[in-house]
């Protein structure tokens, strides 16, 4: 019994020590699923400007979310940073985030790119676009709905249904059209596939180059990246690929955000808010575009050349929490129609 009490005291002391270490002044503990080497510049600039050292834990979003759950009140996480609202919605549903009130963030970040209670903020975006072989497709799809048109049978390539980008796209379709019409759309698109869903977004673009696909769905920054630097089996062939910002005459083009929120038990909350505000500043916003070929979330910030080549577009103004709320329904639809 005495040994058990000593063990309990030792564990409690260790948790307190870890918590005190996490609260070290001038530090920020960042949990991030962004995996881009170019983000080093974002972090180093923040450290130079503020004197706050960033300690990073990088992993897939699902692993970070589970880690925060296990760590509970003793989690050292100050910021959770990830891509796609669907992933951040899962963290928010697990009550891992806290509200933030910031006049700067409210002024800089459009209301549709932030949680209504400040649980997360979007700092850059990628358009979910339709790309096509310019030599073979004279009348490309102009809307997401067009991807289900039988005239494109055997032409379309896309990622697997388990990918968050495809889940969010279908979740948006559910929000706009209801589950019945969204199911018919997904089944129609599946019937038009040129091959079994496979690979990432860059692989969908490579499929056009190789001739396996005539039409593909991919996020904008994968194509812009190939315009800026060498991407194997893609750069050098981009002149043969055309692009469409879908649904410009309807609700607008679906977007994926890169976003961040302050962790519920953030030991360095003040530093965490400063980091969010830094990400909304002009220099960081410009670097999202120049360093990773993304569209800045803040209106009026200049675009890098690789992004500007794609052009501006009208964005879907759908309340982005709908993407998370409709996730399960989207996956059920994909499973039901046999979309792997």
pLDDT tens-digit series, residues 58-103: 999 999 999 999 999 999 999 999 999 999 999 999 999 999 999 9
Which CATH fold topology does 126-254+320-337 show? D-Maltodextrin-Binding Protein; domain 2 (3.40.190)
The domain ranges of the chain are 2-125+256-306, 126-254+320-337
pLDDT at 231 over 60: yes
Q: What is the pLDDT of residue 4?
A: 39
- What phi and psi values does residue 65 have, to the nearest 5 degrees? -65, -45
d(CA 303, CA 285): 9
CB under 8 A, 24+ apart: contacts of 133-141: 133/208, 133/211, 133/213, 133/214, 133/215, 133/240, 133/241, 133/242, 134/240, 134/241, 134/242, 135/240, 136/214, 137/214, 137/215, 137/242, 140/215, 140/242, 140/244, 141/215, 141/244, 141/246
Contact (CB, 8 A) for 149 and 263: no
Q: Are the folds of 2-125+256-306 and 126-254+320-337 the same?
A: yes
Region 198-211: mean pLDDT is 98
pLDDT at 139 over 70: yes
pLDDT at 207 over 50: yes
Q: What is the pLDDT of residue 179?
A: 98
180: which 2 tokens? 């019945």
Q: What is the pLDDT of residue 22?
A: 44
pLDDT at 333 over 90: yes
Q: What is the pLDDT of residue 169?
A: 98
Query: The domain 2-125+256-306 belongs to what CATH superfamily?
Result: Periplasmic binding protein-like II (3.40.190.10)
pLDDT tens-digit series, residues 103-135: 999 999 999 999 999 999 999 999 999 999 999
Percent of the chain surpassing pLDDT 90: 91
Where helices occur in 178-230 by DSSP H, the ranges are: 179-191, 201-210, 220-228
d(CA 314, CA 109): 17
pLDDT tens-digit series, residues 2-11: 343 333 334 3
Q: How far is CA 261 from CA 95, 210, 251, 277, 297, in A?
A: 12, 40, 27, 11, 15
pLDDT tens-digit series, residues 159-194: 999 999 999 999 999 999 999 999 999 999 999 999
């Amino acid at each position: 019994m005495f040994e058990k009490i000593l063990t309990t005291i030792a564990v409690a002391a260790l948790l307190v020590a870890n918590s005190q270490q996490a609260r070290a002044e001038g530090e920020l503990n960042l949990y991030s699923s962004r995996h881009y080497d170019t983000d080093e510049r974002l972090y180093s600039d923040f450290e130079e400007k503020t004197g706050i050292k960033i300690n990073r834990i990088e992993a897939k979003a699902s692993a970070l979310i589970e880690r925060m759950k296990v760590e509970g009140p003793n989690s050292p996480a100050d910021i959770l940073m990830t891509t796609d609202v669907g992933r951040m919605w899962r963290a928010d549903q697990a009550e891992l985030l806290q509200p933030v009130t910031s006049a700067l963030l409210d002024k800089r970040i459009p209301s549709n790119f932030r949680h209504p209670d400040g649980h997360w903020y979007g700092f850059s975006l990628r358009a979910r676009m339709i790309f096509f072989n310019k030599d073979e497709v004279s009348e490309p799809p102009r809307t997401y709905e067009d991807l289900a048109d039988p005239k494109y049978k055997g032409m379309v390539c896309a990622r697997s249904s388990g990918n968050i980008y495809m889940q969010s796209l279908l979740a948006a379709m559910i929000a706009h059209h209801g589950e019945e019409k969204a199911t018919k759309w997904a089944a129609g698109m599946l019937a038009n596939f040129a091959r079994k869903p496979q690979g990432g977004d860059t692989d969908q673009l490579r499929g056009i180059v190789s001739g396996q696909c005539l039409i593909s769905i991919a996020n904008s920054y994968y194509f812009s990246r190939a315009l800026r630097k060498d991407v194997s089996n893609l750069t050098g062939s981009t002149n043969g690929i055309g692009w469409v910002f879908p649904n410009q005459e309807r609700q607008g083009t679906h977007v994926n955000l890169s976003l961040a929120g302050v962790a519920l038990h953030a030991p360095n909350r003040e530093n965490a808010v400063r980091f969010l505000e830094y990400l909304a500043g002009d220099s960081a916003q410009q670097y999202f575009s120049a360093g990773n070929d993304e569209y800045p979330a803040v209106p009026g910030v200049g675009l890098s050349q690789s992004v500007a080549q794609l052009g501006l577009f009208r964005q879907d103004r759908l309340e982005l929490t709908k993407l998370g709320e409709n996730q399960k329904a989207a996956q059920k639809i994909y499973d039901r129609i046999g979309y792997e």
